[in-house]
């Protein structure tokens, strides 16, 4: 009886030892196979990553994995060192290698001739003639004063025509104009022609006021840098121009 128990125990031990040896051999074979393929570390995308994601936020979306060198792209990144300040150029999908060209300067994502919209604001575009836009010399990134004129619209009568500066230092995020077609003498700047499309970053209430001014009045812009003096809003009528 005892000999049968001892024999059974030995058999169980041999099975366990055999299983461990097989597992160890299999693991070793995988490692030997990978070693034969000259593995390298590369960052692999684990989750969907939207375009414009800062590198500083990428660590939660990628993981370093060993891949056969022959299957790793030349520009694949091993880590995020040296990529600070960049953003993803396109949407990234799970399973792809993170390539160096997928990370770019955030300014490259912006349309030429535009600047980013500050958080919490929205853009509104309106058309003006060149003389109402400082002769067309405004560019994206400038700040402007916005003036609106009305032809005396009052509830109880025609009233007087009035002009007032309604906004100070509004950020221009985009500016488009037609190129001048007339040939000009050397060292003479060509006059801009056609309507200018001005895009400004404002809040929702101010956007409504600008649209109202464009629909029912006339808008005029001044180039108003940060250091320009801001006076109290003063409606100007004929009596103020010729007191």
Positive or negative, the CA dihedral 84, 90, 94, 95 is negative
Q: What pLDDT was estimated at residue 64?
A: 93
The SS3 assignment for 19 reads helix
Q: What pLDDT was estimated at residue 44?
A: 94
Q: Which residues contact 234 (CB under 8 A, 6 or more apart)?
A: 164, 165, 240
Q: What is the largest CA-CA distance in the chain?
A: 127
Mean confidence (pLDDT) of the chain: 81
pLDDT mean over 161-183: 81
Residue 66: pLDDT over 60? yes
C-alpha distances (whole Å) from 69 to each of 65, 75, 229 are 12, 12, 63
> How many residues are there in the chain?
243
| Complete domains list, the chain, with CATH | 39-109 (3.90.1210.10), 122-241 (no CATH)
The SS3 assignment for 2 reads helix
Q: What are 25's two structure tokens?
A: 């051999």
Q: Which residues contact 217 (CB under 8 A, 6 or more apart)?
A: 148, 149, 150, 151
For residues 70 and 217, the model is more confident at: 217
Taking only the tens place, the pLDDT of each residue in 3-43 is 554 555 555 545 555 555 555 555 554 555 445 567 889 99
In this structure, the number of other CB atoms found within 10 A of the CB of residue 62 comes to 22
Q: What is the gyration radius of the CA atoms in the chain, in angstroms? A: 34
Q: What pLDDT was estimated at residue 139?
A: 87
Q: What pLDDT was estimated at residue 112?
A: 67
CA pair distance 147, 171, nearest whole angstrom: 14
Taking only the tens place, the pLDDT of each residue in 101-132 is 889 888 766 666 778 888 899 999 999 999 99
Q: What pLDDT was estimated at residue 180?
A: 46
**Least-confidence region, from 67-71, 96-100, 181-185, 223-227:** 181-185
The SS3 assignment for 97 reads strand
Q: What pLDDT was estimated at residue 23?
A: 54
Residue 182: pLDDT over 60? no
- 3-class SS letters over 62-88: EEEEEEEHHHCCCCECCCCCCCCCCEE
**Least-confidence region, from 42-51, 82-91, 150-159:** 150-159
Q: What pLDDT was estimated at residue 26?
A: 56
pLDDT mean over 128-147: 92
């Amino acid at each position: 009886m005892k000999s049968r128990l001892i024999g059974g125990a030995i058999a169980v031990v041999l099975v366990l030892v055999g299983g461990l040896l097989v597992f160890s051999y299999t693991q070793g074979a995988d490692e030997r196979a990978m070693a034969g393929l000259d593995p390298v570390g590369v960052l692999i995308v684990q989750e969907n990553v939207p375009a414009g994601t800062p590198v500083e936020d990428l660590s939660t979306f990628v993981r370093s994995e060993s891949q056969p060198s022959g299957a790793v792209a030349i520009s694949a990144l091993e880590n995020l060192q040296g990529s600070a300040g960049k953003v993803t150029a396109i949407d990234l999908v799970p399973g792809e290698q993170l390539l160096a060209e997928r990370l770019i300067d955030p300014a490259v994502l912006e349309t030429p001739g535009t600047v980013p919209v500050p958080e919490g604001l929205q853009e509104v575009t309106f058309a003006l003639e060149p003389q109402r836009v400082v002769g067309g010399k405004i560019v994206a990134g400038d700040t402007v004063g916005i003036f609106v004129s009305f032809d005396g619209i009052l509830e109880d009568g025609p009233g007087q025509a009035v002009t007032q500066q309604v906004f100070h230092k509004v950020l221009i995020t985009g500016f488009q104009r037609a190129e001048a077609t007339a040939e000009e003498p050397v060292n003479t700047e060509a006059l801009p022609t056609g309507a200018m499309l001005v895009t400004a970053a404002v809040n929702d209430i101010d956007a409504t006021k600008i649209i109202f001014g464009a629909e029912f009045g006339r808008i005029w812009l001044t180039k108003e840098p940060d250091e320009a003096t801001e006076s109290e809003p003063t409606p100007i009528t004929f009596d103020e121009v010729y007191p």
